[in-house]
Amino acid sequence: MTRRILLVNGPNLNLLGTREPEVYGTATLADVERITAEAAAPLGFEIRAVQSNHEGVLIDAIHDARGECEGIVINPAGLTHTSVVLRDALTGVSLPFAEVHISDVYAREEFRHHSFLHDVAAVRVIGRGLEGYAEALRELVSLL
């Protein structure tokens, strides 16, 4: 049986590479997925990746991960600060998850300092750029 981790990227992360490069750099979403997959492979995992600008699509993907994935690496983007239903989906599937943010949200606007996920995430990696995805994946897998 193939071991899988669900990689979830939230709203506007499809614009990586062109959106605010001074904050997020010039790497693309494809780079994020490649880096995460490359970190997963030597650990015996494959990545199932989803990105959407629609909260319900992300929730459906999280629900679908039950029975297919052993954990979730998620960059919820702006939903971090606003979405109770995303939190409920993550806690509802009972899969350990890692919360990732490319930028240091605590060095940015005050509204970005609050996360609805911080107290239920098994792992949090913040402000480490794209390498944060690989770091979060490795930490998550070590908990499985």
Catalytic residues: 24, 101
Alpha helices in 41-83 (DSSP H): 55-64
Report the side by side order of strands in the sheet with 3-9.
45-51, 3-9, 71-75, 97-101, 123-126
**9 and 87 Cβ atoms separated by less than 8 Å:** no
Binding-site residues from annotation for substrate? 75, 81, 88, 102-103, 112
Smallest Cα–Cα separation from 39: which of 141, 134, 139?
134
Binding-site residues from annotation? 75, 81, 88, 102-103, 112
